[in-house]
Structures are given as C-alpha cells and as structure tokens.
Amino acid sequence: MRTVLRSTSFQWTLIAVALVALIITIMLPSSTSRAEAATPTQVHSTVMIARLGTVPAAKPTTAQTRKAQIKNLRMKLVKVAKAQVGDRYSAGSAGPNAFDCSGLTRYVYKTAMGKELPHQSHSQFRIVKKIRVKDAQPGDLVFFFRHGAHHVGLYIGGGKMVDAAGYGKGVRISPIHGSWWGRAFSGIGRIVPAA
C-alpha cells in the first residue's frame, strides 16, 4: 500500500511539474513572439497612422510658405513665356499671338500674376530693381543696349531668356551672353521678390 501511495504521490508530483511547465510555456511568449509583440503605445501609433494615412508632418513656417509661393510664381512666369515661343514678332503688339519685346514681357506678367507693366522696354527698365547677373532668377527681366533699354526679355535660368527677337525671328529662347548680347547688355531687373 505504501508503494502504491509513493508511486501515486510521485505521479502527482510529475503531473504538477508538467502543468507548471505548461503554464509557464503558455504565459511566457517565446523570444520570436516577444520581438513581434507590440506595446500598447506601438499599437496606438500604428492605429493612428493607419487612420491618418501618413505620419503627420511638421507645418511649414510662414517664411517657408512665402518662399514656396514666390518660387511657384516665378515658375509660372517662365511657363507662360515658354508657351509663346514660336509666335511672330509684331511691333507694338502685346499678344496673345504676336509680340514685340516689351509686349511679350508685359503679356507674361499680366497672364501669370495679373501685374500690369508699361509697354516700353525703357519704361520697364525704370520700374525694376536692378540686380547683379549672378543673382538673376527665373522670371527676372533682362535688358539690352547700354545706357538705355531698347530690348527686354524674360530670364528663364541657365543664362537664357525668352524674347521677341525681331522680324523674321519671332519669340524664341536666346542666350543673355554672347558677342552681340555682351556688347549690348544693360542689366537684370527684378519685379518679383527673390525666392
């Protein structure tokens, strides 16, 4: 009888140890599941990102917003000017299908930003802020003929401009430097603030 009790007691001890081991195995996740388990904060963040679609970005400052607006406006001026390439030259014309030089720049500013410019290159030269060539940005005006301004184009970057070059040439993309341009260059003028 004692042998049976000892045997039964031993079996119960083994069963108890096995149960404890089973409970520990169930209660403690394996190292793999531990790495995959998310904390409540991670779960909350994941749910919030899923609801929003993206991680919220910091709001731009007023200065950053203004700079972006100016850059977009300058690109719009260039886009309108390039859209006129191939149109014919006509003295005294300001578009939409024929231009003289100041008529082109006047049309571009009016179309892109609602800004009225006078229809003479020397009058446009008087109202701009004069800047150095190295500071030129797309959308600035380029003037020619020293000691005056008898020709104007819209700077598009890379040392080039869109201008209504004359009869038989029409509106085209031209360099702002070169033999004739270098001799005749008057300066760069700015109407839109720098980006």
Average pLDDT estimate for 81-101: 95
Catalytic residue among 87, 100, 140, 163: 163
Task: Please tell me the pTM assigned to this model.
Answer: 0.68
For this structure, is 163 an active site residue?
yes
Catalytic residue among 87, 100, 101, 140: 101
Residues 153 and 111 reside in one and the same domain: yes
For this structure, is 122 an active site residue?
no
Whether 136 is in a domain gets the answer yes
Q: Domains in the chain: how many in total?
A: 2
In this prediction, residue 71 carries a pLDDT of 96
Sequence-separated (6 or more) residues with CB below 8 Å from residue 147: 186
Could you report how far apart the first and last alpha carbons of the chain are, in Å? Answer: 100
For this structure, is 140 an active site residue?
no
Residue 39, pLDDT above cutoff 80: no
Strand-pair category, 171-175 with 160-164? antiparallel
Catalytic residue among 87, 100, 140, 151: 151
- Choose between 138 and 13: higher pLDDT: 138
Between the CA of residue 111 and those of 6, 54, 88, what are the distances in Å? 103, 37, 18
Q: What integer best gives the mean pLDDT of the chain?
A: 81
Residues 70 and 152 reside in one and the same domain: yes
Can you give the residue range of the structural domain that contains 149? 62-190
